[in-house]
Amino acid sequence: MEISYNPSIALQSHQSLIIATIVTLLPLLLAVWSLFKRPHKSNVSAPATSTGKEETRQATPSSSCNGATDSAAFLNDGRAGAVDEEMVTADVSKVAAEMQSGASMMEQLVPEITTHALSYLDYPSLCRLSMTNSLMRKAANDDNAWKALYHKDFTLEQDSVTPVNGWKAYYAATRAIMNVNTEFFNIIRSRSFPAMSCFWLNADYVKCIHASGEHYSGYNAVIQSWQVAFNWEQDVDFQVRDVRARVLTDMAWVTMKTFVDIDSGPFNMTNVFEFHHGRWYLVHHHSSVMLPAGGDMGQQIHG
Ligand SMILES: *[C@@H]1O[C@H](CO)[C@@H](O)[C@H](O)[C@H]1NC(C)=O
């Protein structure tokens, strides 16, 4: 009994072990099988079905989304495949319709919200955004957006002015004159007499009042005074702050403070520019005069 019983138990346990193993391994095998089946199937069946599928795809406006359509075509055959492709085609045409109406989430915002969102962008970003599409171009050219950017980048002053060509143009004009004004100080730092000669308008009415208190009138006298200053002075390190520009069509003036060193007070300066032949020229420079306080006479600066 024991002899006949034991093998049956052994067989039973062996059978159950086999069943358990099959049950455990079957999903794994199926997974591995399907993994190997996909590329194999697409390689083999693709040429056979491609002609028909190609025609279907060409008939629908889905050719712009080839990736999705191709994988759907290769993974499915028969009715199931047809249904899936229909779904893909429906999705594609939905996307196409959305693209045609140009309705992205950003563009569906209320204009006030868009303007607010744009107020967080800086100057290059706003310019880049305006190049994306017509709706964004309209939003990025919004007058209030540029007024906000002007206030952020330059000054809160001039809140009440109404620029004739809008705030975007005014922003650009202000940025241009700021760059010209920066160039003035770069010329002083590099002591370039030729550059300073080109920077001034060649006219008899230009005037320059240096920090020394000396006053020069007329192009030749003004230019000579800079030549003397560049030859005479040693290197001065200075910082320019509180730069404010007001730009009209062909005239602009800039006020600023120039700190030669931290201890002494600032030189208060004004530059006046005129627009001639497509560029800005300096016609007037006025620096406040350093007062000889406490025998500290070494702080004088031309400029
Ligand atoms: C420039 O103006 C400031 C006031 O903003 C004044 O304290 C300073 O003395 C002035 N500088 C000169 C050199 O006059």
Distance CA 161, CA 165 (A): 12
In one letter, which amino acid is 50?
Answer: S
Q: Specify if 227 maps to a domain.
A: yes
Ligand 1 mutation pick, 209, 244, 264, 288, max ligand atoms within 8 A of CB: 288
Q: For residue 21, what are the CA distances in angstroms to 16, 24, 144?
A: 8, 5, 73
282 alpha carbon – ligand 1 mean position (Å) = 23
Q: Specify if 303 maps to a domain.
A: no
Confidence (pLDDT) at 100 = 57
Q: How far is CA 147 from the centre of its chain?
A: 18
pTM equals 0.61
Q: Specify if 32 maps to a domain.
A: no
Q: Specify if 222 maps to a domain.
A: yes
| Contact call for residues 299 and 261 (beta carbons, < 8 A) | yes
Q: Specify if 102 maps to a domain.
A: no
CATH code where residue 240 lies: 3.10.450.50
- DSSP-derived secondary structure for 53-92: HHHHHHHTTTGGGHHHHHHHHHH--HHHHHHHHHHHHHHH
Confidence (pLDDT) at 30 = 53
| Contact call for residues 202 and 219 (beta carbons, < 8 A) | yes
Distance CA 239, CA 262 (A): 9
Q: Write b or e for each residue in 103-123: b if 16 or more Cβ atoms lie within 10 A of its Cβ, otherwise e.
A: eeeeeeeeeeebbeebbebee
| Domain, as residue range, for 207 | 191-289
- Lining ligand 1 with CB less than 6 A are 265-268, 288, 290
* Residues paired with residue 273 on neighbouring β-strands, in sequence order: 252, 282
Q: Report which protein residue has its CA nearest ligand 1's atom 7.
A: 265
Give the mean pLDDT per block of 10 residues along the chain (303 residues): 48 56 55 51 40 40 40 38 50 56 70 80 86 83 87 88 91 95 94 96 97 95 95 80 94 94 82 97 94 50 50
Q: Specify if 255 maps to a domain.
A: yes
| Contact call for residues 259 and 239 (beta carbons, < 8 A) | yes
Distance CA 179, CA 287 (A): 19
Q: Specify if 298 maps to a domain.
A: no
Number of the ligand 1 atom closest to the C-alpha atom of 257 = 1
Q: Specify if 241 maps to a domain.
A: yes
Ligand 1 mutation pick, 240, 261, 268, max ligand atoms within 8 A of CB: 268
Domain count, the chain: 1
* Residues whose CB falls within 8 Å of the CB of residue 174, separated by 6 or more in sequence, listed in order: 150, 154, 245, 247
Q: Write b or e for each residue in 260-280: b if 16 or more Cβ atoms lie within 10 A of its Cβ, otherwise e.
A: beeeeebbebebbbbbeeeeb
